[in-house]
Amino acid sequence: MKKNLMGYGFLIIAALILIEIGSYFYEKNIKFNLNSPIVTNTKALTKDTPKDPKSAANSVQVSGWVAWWKEKEAYATIEKYHSNLSSISPVWFELNTKSKIDEVGTMDKAAIVSKLKSYGLKVIPTLGSSEIKSTELSTFLNDPIETNLFIDSLITRLTTLKVDGIDLDFEDIKLADKDKFTAFVTRLEQKTSKNNLTLSVTIHAKTGNNDWEGSLGQDTQQIGQLADEVRVMAYDYHTKDSGAGAITPTNWLQNVVKYSQQNIPKEKLVIGLPSYGYVWNKNGDFGDFQYDEFVNFTSKTKPTITRDTESGEQVYNDTAYVGWLSDATAISKKVTTVQTMGVNRIVIWNIGGMDNSFFSSL
């Protein structure tokens, strides 16, 4: 009889303890789900957790360029959808004819860097060469004194701004200057590495077959070894000179990805996708418009709008023009194409004025 009483006593004490524990957690508003896994790594609760619970490989890492002439629109988009983005590249620097840095854009760069970092985004501004001719770029690349001074000046500016790296976007490089450009990238890599800065290099798309002459001055394989990431501009298959057609045809995109994968390490490869449209006027004029501008332009007429099933892009047919537009549906289709091929990193040209409904698909 004593043993039974002792057993009951222990049960009563245990019950009281459980009641006290339950009351504590109720007061602290802590709830348990017995079906939930135990979290032992707090990093699993950060924004880096893939939105797709199946696997990180199923998620896409999205970065974006910010064209300085669409800054306000871009930062409004970033403010709303920053959780869907990983890095931002504002076009802030241009090489000028005097081998110096021209700064572009009207907004306060330091304030922008601070704001973007508060969202947890990496800031990798872009340095371009669009303001000079290919012959002037050639002169610059062939002058080791000027290039070294330029790199030193650039590094100083980057460290002052406290950004995370630099995106080098020198385009239309002469084939004869290929080795000189590689040498420039080599010296830039040495300086960025020393200063703990990411080096991104943006290059023209290639397939290895009948590639555009302006792309041949970029040694894809060498750049792939030197840079921390390589952004391949997989757009502008059809442009002003080609006649109307898809900006990024799917079969061409697939060939670009294949060639890139053969020459660039997988972990460094980023595919650039378009968020804009072109209009080929039947009188010979040509227009390039960001998504918001394209929609505004075409709303003034009554074009027939269809969707190209191959590229996913919208096609506008009017009595006066033909237009092709890469909207949210088209971008998503292109993302699916590159993901199917094993690439999970993309960068959008450009974020300002794009079709923001794209982000709801992520």
Range with the poorest average pLDDT among 13-17, 190-194, 221-225:
13-17
Whole-number pLDDT of residue 87: 98
How confident is the model over 110-136, as a mean pLDDT? 97
Amino acid 234 reads A
DSSP 38: P
Q: What is the pLDDT of residues 177-190, one digit of tens each?
A: 999 999 999 999 99
Whole-number pLDDT of residue 362: 87
How confident is the model over 89-97, as a mean pLDDT? 98
- Does 26 have pLDDT greater than 80? no
Tokens read off for 126: 């872009």
Q: Which CATH superfamily is domain 59-274+327-361 in?
A: Glycosidases (3.20.20.80)
| Residue 330 near residue 314, CB atoms below 8 Å | yes
How confident is the model over 119-139, as a mean pLDDT? 97
Range with the poorest average pLDDT among 24-38, 189-203, 319-333:
24-38
Rounded to a whole number of angstroms, the CA Rg of the chain reads: 26
Whole-number pLDDT of residue 58: 57
Q: pTM of the prediction?
A: 0.84
Task: Tell me the sheet residues that pair with 307.
Answer: 314
Name the CA dihedral angle for 194, 198, 201, 202, rounded to a multiple of 10 degrees. -160
- Does 7 have pLDDT greater than 50? no
Q: What is the pLDDT of residues 146-198, one digit of tens each?
A: 999 999 999 999 999 999 999 999 999 999 999 999 999 999 999 999 999 99
Which residues, in sequence order, are CB contacts of 229 under 8 Å at separation 6+? 198, 199, 200, 201, 268, 269, 270, 345
- Does 16 have pLDDT greater than 80? no
